[in-house]
Structure 1
Amino acid sequence: MGLFSSHAALAARYDAARASGRMPTGVVMDRLLSASEAIIDGRRTVTAGTHNYLGLAFDETCIEAAVAAVRREGTGTCGSRIANGSFADHVALEAELAAFHGLRHAMTFSTGYQANLGVISSLVGAGDFLLLDADSHASIYDACKQTQASAIRFKHNDPANLDARLRRLTGEPGDKLVVVEGIYSMLGDMAPLKAIVEVCRRHGAYLLVDEAHSMGVLGARGAGLAEHEGVLDQVDFVVGTFSKSLGAVGGYCVSNHDRFDLLRLACRPYMFTASLPPATAASVRAALKAVAERPELRERLWRNVHRLYAALDDAGFALGPTPSPIIAVRLDSEATTLAMWRALLDAGYYVNVGLPPATPSGESLLRCAISAAHSDAQIDGLAEQLIRLGQDFGALAAPRQAVTGR
């Protein structure tokens, strides 16, 4: 295999899975019809795996803002902000992000991945300690590789284990940065943030919360889990993305730290990557306003979440521990997961597949991403198909229950 010989085990798994049928990596959306439907293989398909949590990727105000920006400023920035300067929308968006979170400073990145990679690797270095939840996103783990800080994992959502790790570092020179997520992307569970804040304050550790899947979803104004738990003023850094609730692409970090702007000179993913296109910055500004001013979007999202979660839980599926916009159906094998995913797509429902090593404890998952844009009929149809397939493939021990309005 030459250059690819180090990926021999992955190649064997991939080839075996591909031989058994269609792969999740090969799905093409022929045409997007709305925030909840697409044409796939010429068939109208319900999209329940696109993370468009509030449906804002198809919001008319956001679309018009993007169109106007393209006409006014062109299709791209053609370089980084360090080299090509900032557009007015970049500066305005950062001011609005900071104000939305009630913090003083903000900076934007071209992707959420780069936000984590750049901020984390720039905050700690040689002689420092980076403590991360064991179920952290790949971007957080990759940030560990970009810093000379000592990386220490603690048990998932376990403040006591974090406390023990930090206690062992008592007296050690160097800063301690703890990294957790608001809603974890595989099982949809939430961090016990109040307890983690208490542990960090007790040991003098800094705290960064990745609110990628919780911004727009939690909190009275949609600022995320830190707002929801009433500890936003006790979190040192909040990282988020524009590719979930805000319906676009990009990432950001907000903070109250006085020297925050030094990150613009230290974050290589910020300094050496082309900045957000005008259309993206403009659409995100419109989406941010919608998050703040339209709480009914969150209400509709959570109604859909509870409707699907309750139906699948009643049917006997093993799910993530708490309802959230990510509803993970936990299955016993990779083969069953792929087979059910293919059958679900054939029935007109697109969801995500989660397979090891990307999943916690090596589990295989069918992962639904629920939106405020889904109708009751779409939620009920997805539940009915999952229950039918769960029985057909032996993934449900309990008898199938009829789905009723919830």
Structure 2
Amino acid sequence: MSTQQPTVNWLKNRVRQAREDQQQLFDAGLNGLKLAQREGKEIELSSGERLTEFLSCSYLGLECDPRLIRGAVDTVETFGVQFAAARTRALLPPMRELDEQLSRIFQGYAVTFNSVGSAHLGCLPLLGSGELPSYPLRRGPGWIVDRAAHASMQVLQGILWQFGPVQRCDCRDMEQVEQACSAAVAAGNTPIILTDSIGSMRGVYPINRLLQLAERFEGYLYADDAHGTSIHGVAGGGYALATGDERLRERLILLSSLSKAFGATGGAITVRTADDAEMIRRHASTYTFGGPLSMGGVGAAVASGKIHLSPQLGELQAALWRNVALIDGLLGPVLGNHEVASPIRFVRVGAERDAISLALHLRRQAIAVTTALFPVVAKGEAILRLAISANHSQAQLACLANAVKGGFDELGIRQRGSGDGR
């Protein structure tokens, strides 16, 4: 567990270490794909190559739903592409409607941003200042950041240090988190745990146990639920709401994505009271000065919100989990995250060169996946990430499974030990 303040130019070292591995992906043609068109999960590149993609994190297929497309077009035709004034000065009707929908879906008071990253940048300093009415602090915050938390939180560590000390630990290890909370309280600070709820390169996090620690130490859990939004919960409120004890809800600050399974664009933070939400609207820098929302994105999100608040969402969720169960059955525990409540599966490879070779083998089978090398994962622990969607067909999933199995055999790559990613 690290508590040292980062060096001034830590990013330079990260770039230097990652440059060679990342260049290999572009040289191999695995990154920087130039899409010409798409139809469902089939994409066509500018070269004419057609691939089944397991790249997109739109897990319910809503981004292609005619209702979302119509909602985007109607809103743009009515209000223009954007309204270039701060939302503290003027809110258009679809913006107000979206916040009301999201407040129902996420069971609190929701405020929308251009992205989840923008919400982090605007809201974490405000939280650390102690000015949010329902989230009082002792002397100040003691930030506890998961080592694998999304890069949009990691990059803010220098800013977080302006408000209080930062400790990094594995938030799936309760002993580490407990020690970090105890250290924060001993220093006179309020522990604030920053973590994903479903990791983009890992499994699920023990949200309820983290909430229990937050309550015990009179702190808060700041949960980025981008990959859990829409796919869990009756109205798609997400993994953190679905698994967290409702009695501990006052300890939860929820971040949700509208750009993944929700099918639109943007992000949202959900807080306890209307006063908290109003404080964010008036004083979070990226809300006030973060640039206008895309009106097409707002219109699509409103249309998606209506689906979320209808019985059809459950049908889409069921289709997703059927596909997840199918790929688990076809490939078994060779998959990382096997039988975990996440739509993300990954193939453990190890050596960066082997991961690129296996990804190119899949490409020859007309399949596109994400090849994750350092700094996304640790050196020597390269993986292929598979994003499973409700609108993948059974035939597409079967082809993927056969290509993965065939690739290991044909290339002579030793399969890494299985793991559930938890």
Q: TM-score, normalised by structure 1?
A: 0.89
Please give the alpha-carbon distance, in whole angstroms, between the structure 2 residues aligned to 1:190 and 1:397: 23
Q: CA deviation at 1:14?
A: 4.2
Contact kept? 1:209, 1:235, Cα under 8 Å: no
Q: Residue 266 of structure 1: which of 279, 283, 293 is its match?
A: 283
Given the superposition, is the C-alpha separation of residues 307 and 31 from structure 1 closer, same or farther in structure 2, using an over 3 Å criterion? same
Indicate whether 1:216 and 2:230 are aligned: yes
Q: CA deviation at 1:360?
A: 5.3
1:135 is paired with a residue whose SS is coil
Q: Which amino acid letter does the alignment assign opposite residue 73 of structure 1?
A: F
Indicate whether 1:68 and 2:74 are aligned: yes
Please give the root-mean-square deviation of Cα atoms over the aligned residues, in Å: 2.3
Please give the alpha-carbon distance, in whole angstroms, between the structure 1 residues aligned to 2:269 and 2:219: 18
Partner of residue 242, structure 1: 258
Partner of residue 54, structure 1: 60
Summarize the alignment of residues 281-360 of structure 1 with structure 2, pairs less than 5 Å apart: 281-293=298-310, 294=312, 295-313=314-332, 317-320=334-337, 322-323=339-340, 324-359=342-377
Contact kept? 2:71, 2:299, Cα under 8 Å: yes
Q: CA deviation at 1:275?
A: 2.5
Given the superposition, is the C-alpha separation of residues 365 and 268 from structure 1 closer, same or farther in structure 2, using an over 3 Å criterion? same
Given the superposition, is the C-alpha separation of residues 195 and 289 from structure 1 closer, same or farther in structure 2, using an over 3 Å criterion? same
Please give the alpha-carbon distance, in whole angstroms, between the structure 2 residues aligned to 1:45 and 1:198: 45
Given the superposition, is the C-alpha separation of residues 157 and 86 from structure 1 closer, same or farther in structure 2, using an over 3 Å criterion? same
Q: Which amino acid letter does the alignment assign opposite residue 309 of structure 1?
A: D
Contact kept? 1:318, 1:331, Cα under 8 Å: no
Partner of residue 401, structure 1: none
Contact kept? 2:143, 2:167, Cα under 8 Å: yes
Contact kept? 2:348, 2:415, Cα under 8 Å: no
Matched residue pairs, number?
387
Partner of residue 128, structure 1: 141
Q: CA deviation at 1:321?
A: 5.5
Q: Which amino acid letter does the alignment assign opposite residue 49 of structure 1?
A: L
Please give the alpha-carbon distance, in whole angstroms, between the structure 2 residues aligned to 1:361 and 1:136: 17
Summarize the alignment of residues 183-198 of structure 1 with structure 2, pairs less than 5 Å apart: 183-187=198-202, 189-198=203-212
Partner of residue 184, structure 2: 169
Q: Which amino acid letter does the alignment assign opposite residue 410 of structure 2?
A: D
Partner of residue 402, structure 1: none
Partner of residue 138, structure 1: 151
Contact kept? 1:328, 1:367, Cα under 8 Å: yes
1:385 is paired with a residue whose SS is helix
- Cα shift readout 1:182-237 (whole Å, capped 9, x = no counterpart): 211112x1111111111110000111111100011112332112232142534431
Q: CA deviation at 1:271?
A: 1.9
Q: CA deviation at 1:393?
A: 2.1
Given the superposition, is the C-alpha separation of residues 198 and 397 from structure 1 closer, same or farther in structure 2, using an over 3 Å criterion? closer
Contact kept? 2:232, 2:242, Cα under 8 Å: yes
Given the superposition, is the C-alpha separation of residues 88 and 367 from structure 1 closer, same or farther in structure 2, using an over 3 Å criterion? same
Q: Residue 112 of structure 1: which of 116, 119, 128 is its match?
A: 116
Please give the alpha-carbon distance, in whole angstroms, between the structure 2 residues aligned to 1:305 and 1:385: 17
Contact kept? 1:337, 1:364, Cα under 8 Å: yes
Q: Report which stretch shifted further, 133-142 or 6-15.
A: 6-15
Q: TM-score, normalised by structure 2?
A: 0.85
Contact kept? 1:155, 1:162, Cα under 8 Å: yes
Indicate whether 1:77 and 2:91 are aligned: no
Please give the alpha-carbon distance, in whole angstroms, between the structure 2 residues aligned to 1:231 and 1:142: 30
Given the superposition, is the C-alpha separation of residues 10 and 396 from structure 1 closer, same or farther in structure 2, using an over 3 Å criterion? closer
Partner of residue 91, structure 1: 96
Q: Residue 228 of structure 1: which of 242, 257, 276 is its match?
A: 242
Please give the alpha-carbon distance, in whole angstroms, between the structure 2 residues aligned to 1:185 and 1:393: 27
Contact kept? 2:282, 2:288, Cα under 8 Å: yes
Q: CA deviation at 1:347?
A: 1.8
Q: CA deviation at 1:334?
A: 0.8
Indicate whether 1:30 and 2:39 are aligned: no
Please give the alpha-carbon distance, in whole angstroms, between the structure 1 residues aligned to 2:400 and 2:294: 36
Partner of residue 132, structure 2: none
Q: CA deviation at 1:249?
A: 1.7
Contact kept? 2:21, 2:373, Cα under 8 Å: no
Contact kept? 2:146, 2:195, Cα under 8 Å: yes
Given the superposition, is the C-alpha separation of residues 299 and 165 from structure 1 closer, same or farther in structure 2, using an over 3 Å criterion? same
Please give the alpha-carbon distance, in whole angstroms, between the structure 2 residues aligned to 1:215 and 1:30: 29
Q: CA deviation at 1:362?
A: 5.7
1:259 is paired with a residue whose SS is helix
2:168 is paired with a residue whose SS is strand
Contact kept? 1:135, 1:360, Cα under 8 Å: no
Given the superposition, is the C-alpha separation of residues 287 and 360 from structure 1 closer, same or farther in structure 2, using an over 3 Å criterion? farther
Please give the alpha-carbon distance, in whole angstroms, between the structure 2 residues aligned to 1:117 and 1:290: 29
Q: Which amino acid letter does the alignment assign opposite residue 300 of structure 2?
A: S
1:146 is paired with a residue whose SS is helix
Structure 1: gaps (5+ residues): 399-406
Please give the alpha-carbon distance, in whole angstroms, between the structure 1 residues aligned to 2:55 and 2:25: 20
Contact kept? 1:197, 1:234, Cα under 8 Å: no
1:386 is paired with a residue whose SS is helix
Indicate whether 1:154 and 2:169 are aligned: yes
Contact kept? 1:120, 1:140, Cα under 8 Å: no
Contact kept? 1:66, 1:279, Cα under 8 Å: yes
Please give the alpha-carbon distance, in whole angstroms, between the structure 1 residues aligned to 2:294 and 2:106: 23
2:270 is paired with a residue whose SS is strand
Q: Report which stretch shifted further, 335-344 or 377-386.
A: 335-344
Please give the alpha-carbon distance, in whole angstroms, between the structure 2 residues aligned to 1:335 and 1:121: 41
Indicate whether 1:100 and 2:105 are aligned: yes
Q: CA deviation at 1:395?
A: 3.1
